[in-house]
Structure 1
Amino acid sequence: MNRFIYIALLCLTVSSCITLRSSDSKLQTAFAPKVTNHTPQIHRYEVGKRPMRYMELGNDTLPLLIFMHGAPGSLTSFKSYMKDRDLLKKVKIIAVDRPGYGYSGFGKAEKSVEKQAAFIKPILEKYRPLHKKIMLVGSSYGGTVIARLAMDYPHLVDGLMFISSSLAAGAEKIYAISYPTRYPPLRWLLPRMIRVATDEKFAHEKSLKKMEPLWGKVTVPVSILHGNSDVLIYIENALYAKQALKNAPVRLAIVNGKGHFLPWTTPKIVKKEMLLFIDRVVAYRAPAVEAKK
């Protein structure tokens, strides 16, 4: 019994130290001008009682690209791309701590994708007057959130890039161990960010089902990048989105033999697709709407 208590306390101690988040000062150092040629700016705001944090980097005169991380994660999930000088020549970059992660109410999950999009909307509203083009890049669960942003606020979004994104209800892996960890005492042994990810996971299918009638509202250029050996978020997600996006110009790129973590396992492919995506969005002109007679 004493041994069990010791192990439980050890797990609690270790889990409290695992956060995957960086303080403002660490961000300032990691993305300093000597690294990126730009000065990072860190911002905070609140929606209701929900605190939100994001970081911007780059030239105000360029189109804007916003990164949305998966579960778990934080705004540094795309850090190698945020430092990439080829990307920074083409776009200004913003990365967001999604609700429940980083410094956006760490440990407090928001299970509704619709509400998550509403919490992030103020960023798009703030930068819309400054940038003719705003494009969103999301990986895994972050892809779900950017899809919802484009559905609910189409006037604020000019392009979407989904990387290994969860877009089809029920087409993702849930491990058996995940079920008992939803409840005490096992829940207490999980790092807070894993609790948030678990809460999101079990509410995900419901959120995606609510989104099914809304895909037709997306009319901007879309890029979909997915590995056909992804055992976490199945390739069916990419195929479903390609079919559901009937009113949008879609580029689907399937990476043979690769799994879920494309941004880190295939960075050259991801960067190439990202640069192509940026060029597509910048060049895109919406078809003229014929006036009714």
Structure 2
Amino acid sequence: MFKKILKIVSIILLVLLIGLYTLFTIFTAPKSDEAILKAYEKSNIQPNLTHERYKDFLYRKISIQNDTVLPTLVFVHGTIGSLNDFSKYMADSLLQSKFNMIAYDRIGYNYEDKNSVQESIAFENEMLLDLIKELPKEKVVLVGYSYGGPIALSVKEKLKKIILLAPAVHSTVEPMPWMLNFYKWKITRWLVPKVWKQASKEKISHREDLKKFESNWNITPNKVVSIHGTSDWIVPYENSKMLEEQFDEEQFNLVDLDKGNHGLVWSNFDFIKEQLLKYAD
């Protein structure tokens, strides 16, 4: 009887694990164009979703063009991430009235992307500069989240503002979660969903790549704001504290989110929206 019960329990647990894995894979996979646009069904202004080319790469860009006089928020997502991370901001009526807005999928994170992540802040910098080349730079506000933080901060052209959200900018405080071993170990790599393989590659190489930039973050003509949760363990708060030490106080402003975590883009939407609105004029 005990063996029968154990067998039944084992089967139930296995089914639950397979179900959770399937849901996790579906939930975190890049969304189709149709799924992306569903987030804007009630939006006052309908966005324009386009497929762009940079060098030999195709990527998606979503944009809301309200008025050419307005400044433009350009959102740069992290690892793992997509242009969909910022849909709540781009669909917000007040933000729409104050800004034009752009978000895009970085290479390796596009829907059914056949390309691999480039594992290079320098490459991401060049791609971002290509994306904003037609915009008046004095009206561009870059918003870089997580891995998108160093990409935004690496831009040395004079802009309206650079806003960092939990930026991963210093190698010495770059954690390597144990779960990365599932990607590192060949015997378990097959279990890792495709987009998470891309994120794992980028995460593993990020620490070394940061060393090429981290001592020179303050060599920029731009004023920088960093918003960071004090309880963030994925990208520790120390990242922003170390940035604060590099910059003069008139050029850098650190905004603490007391007990905030790495999901601040979603969990602290109202607060971040309020911060963005400060740079609407």
TM range (shorter): 0.7 to 0.9
Deviations 1:48-92 (A, max 9, x none): 322121110131321111111111111010111111111111110
* 1:122 aligns to 2:124 (yes or no): no
Give aligned-pair identity as a percent.
Answer: 26
* 1:36 aligns to 2:43 (yes or no): yes
Counterpart of 2:55 (choices 41, 48, 52) is 48
Deviations 1:201-248 (A, max 9, x none): 111111211002432331212111111111111111011112223496
Matched residue count: 266
Name the counterpart of 2:212: 210
Counterpart of 2:33 (choices 3, 24, 31) is 24
Distance change >3 Å, CA 47–CA 58, structure 1 → 2: closer
Name the counterpart of 1:64: 72
Shift of 1:103: 3.5
Counterpart of 1:220 (choices 222, 226, 232) is 222
Shift of 1:106: 5.5
For residue 40 of structure 1, what is the amino acid of its counterpart? P
Contact 1:65 1:93 in 2 (8 A): yes
Deviations 1:234-272 (A, max 9, x none): 111011112223496222111112221112222222111
Deviations 1:94-152 (A, max 9, x none): 01111211348366221111112222322111323xx641111111111121112x13x
Cα distance between partner residues in 2 of 1:132 and 1:258:
31
Contact 1:218 1:248 in 2 (8 A): no
Distance change >3 Å, CA 22–CA 176, structure 1 → 2: closer
Name the counterpart of 1:80: 88
- Secondary structure class of the residue paired with 2:73: strand
For residue 33 of structure 2, what is the amino acid of its counterpart? D
Distance change >3 Å, CA 124–CA 247, structure 1 → 2: farther
For residue 65 of structure 2, what is the amino acid of its counterpart? G
Instruction: Give the TM-score, by structure 1 length.
Output: 0.81
Name the counterpart of 2:8: none
Deviations 1:144-196 (A, max 9, x none): 21112x13xx14x3311111111111313222231342242312211111111
Contact 1:162 1:225 in 2 (8 A): yes
Instruction: Give the TM-score, by structure 2 length.
Output: 0.84
Consecutive unaligned residues of structure 2, counting only runs of 5 or more, are 1-10
Cα distance between partner residues in 2 of 1:86 and 1:20:
30
Distance change >3 Å, CA 227–CA 88, structure 1 → 2: same
Distance change >3 Å, CA 174–CA 213, structure 1 → 2: closer
Cα distance between partner residues in 1 of 2:263 and 2:225:
17
Cα distance between partner residues in 2 of 1:53 and 1:248:
36
Distance change >3 Å, CA 158–CA 217, structure 1 → 2: farther
Distance change >3 Å, CA 231–CA 213, structure 1 → 2: closer
Distance change >3 Å, CA 18–CA 257, structure 1 → 2: closer
Contact 2:174 2:207 in 1 (8 A): no
Could you tell which deviates more after superposition, 47-56 or 180-189? Answer: 180-189
- Secondary structure class of the residue paired with 1:224: strand
Contact 2:150 2:168 in 1 (8 A): yes
